[in-house]
Chains A and B, each alone.
Chain A
């Protein structure tokens, strides 16, 4: 069913990863991704992989969930592998059939690019989507974007919009599910027929869905107004984000790991490859 979509789903928990300050998580995740594109060679990649594995282990997120999150990019992964294996030349030739030449260097390249993609996707899943509640995520974003408010950047409005959107995704999915069931009960058929026929079959779902969404938006607007919501100006918060010892510890540790990876990429590792 529609609800089983994992993309963007939060799995509540009480691990150190869950409890980290969202700002720390967002910043470090972004850094991690940048570093992934800066490093080279087996040892830095090994360090980054181990680092993420430890994070996954600490977060108690089921590995199966991570694979599920990777499934949508499976085609991309296969495609990249192919391209790299066939088009990167150099090193020892392993296989040579007509146009196709597979070299050790090609396989080496393909392997690291795949690893990079997998790490990139998994880190955002583990650190952000799976372990940070949408509310924390937007709170963190708002706080990080705060300094730009001086430049008239609507950080609060943006965060509020994101919060509302995130809040209503499950509701709308549930509603879609319900309306689809109701129309199926009246013999609507969403599964057979040409594309055109199937698109048409969605009309009885989309109309009530949109009407419902507008009704909800209106109700929400009234509810917000009733509580005197006037935007971010002078608004205090229920949860004030404060960095504590563990946030600093994690940040320092992570930065150290990142630094080691980079240093190794540009010094020893070259020696290993060229040897």
Chain B
């Protein structure tokens, strides 16, 4: 299968030729396929945000290419502009980008820029608000009168309303309570199931990753340090810790049990998996 987004040899340097020169990402290769959920993790400053800003053409690569369905996203100005609607990017703390008088108009900002008709926009806004789990009566309120979590969801709805092929979320759960966190993650998962779009989830939260993604990319100092299936990556807990990351709590529990002498796999990352592992220890149950 062909990748929707392909990244080859991507490098980016901030403030080149000044004392502040900073290599943010270095020689990144990456493919994103249709329908999958990818997790991107990495210590703070490892280049996650920089990487994803390349995927919808916000930053022009200093070296390397980004292609969408095989076409270089920088081939023409119009194409780069149109990519923004196909690759929806939700920024870190997106609630600070709200600006309209009503929630409705804020969510409609993207679709309006796409040049859609009024009816179509109305339908999309209604769908988007439902997908992020908000009630329609919020649409006429001012976005500034909402709570932090609600604002966050409105901002995500603003991107979903563009119906992108790829949805990229930069730390969508940062600063939310456990409930708000689970809500957003579950809605993203459900949205991925129902529409078959690809999702890139950037986060510091290993529990989010464990519950959601099919595949993980680990960044360290601007380079891909590790990539693979969820259990594969989480089974390498020691290396993750060296990179300033952790494994999910349940994996930590499994590791402790393993160290204590139980013969179980340490690549589990959900409660269910650990339960099965423990049960499969065979006859051990009394």
Could you tell me which A residues sit within 8 Å of B by CB distance? 3-4, 11-12, 62, 64-65, 175, 178-179, 181-189, 203-204, 207-208, 211-212
Contact = CB atoms under 8 A, between A and B. Distances in A.
Main secondary structure of the interface of A (DSSP, over half): helix
B194 to A, nearest CB: 22
Among B89, B96, B97, chain A packs the most CB atoms within 10 A around the CB of: B97
B81 A187 contact: yes
12 contacts: A12-B19, A175-B96, A178-B91, A181-B91, A185-B58, A185-B91, A186-B84, A186-B109, A187-B81, A187-B110, A187-B162, A208-B96
Interface in B13-32: 15, 17-19
A182 B109 contact: no
Contacts of A212: 96
A62 B99 CA distance: 41
Contacts of B81: 187, 189
Given A181-B53, A188-B113, A208-B96, 13 more contacts: A3-B15, A4-B15, A175-B96, A179-B96, A181-B58, A185-B56, A185-B88, A185-B89, A186-B159, A186-B162, A187-B114, A189-B81, A189-B113
B39 interface: no
A185 B49 CA distance: 13
Nearest 3 CB-CB pairings of A with B: A187-B113, A186-B110, A182-B97
A209 B90 CA distance: 18
A204 B98 CA distance: 8
A208 B88 contact: no
B172 interface: no
A131 B246 CA distance: 41
Given A178-B91, A181-B53, A187 B84 contact: yes
Interface in B39-90: 53, 56, 58, 81, 84-85, 88-90
A209 to B, nearest CB: 9
Contacts of B33: none
Nearest to A4: B15
B280 to A, nearest CB: 46
A236 to B, nearest CB: 33
A85 B154 CA distance: 62
B110 A184 contact: no
Interface in B126-161: 144, 158-159
Among A181, A186, A187, chain B packs the most CB atoms within 10 A around the CB of: A186
B222 interface: no
B237 interface: no
Contacts of A64: 17
B94 interface: yes
Given A186-B158, A187-B81, A211-B144, A11 B19 contact: yes
A165 B84 CA distance: 34
B97 A183 contact: yes
Interface string B181-193: 0000000000000
B81 to A, nearest CB: 7
Contacts of B96: 175, 178-179, 182, 208, 211-212
A1 B229 CA distance: 37
A202 to B, nearest CB: 11
A185 B84 contact: yes
Nearest to B57: A184
Contacts of A65: 18
Nearest to B87: A185
A65 B19 CA distance: 10
A261 B150 CA distance: 68
B159 A204 contact: no
Among A3, A183, A185, A212, chain B packs the most CB atoms within 10 A around the CB of: A185
A173 to B, nearest CB: 13
Contact of A208 (B53, B98, B159, B162): B98
Nearest to A182: B97
A207 B99 contact: yes
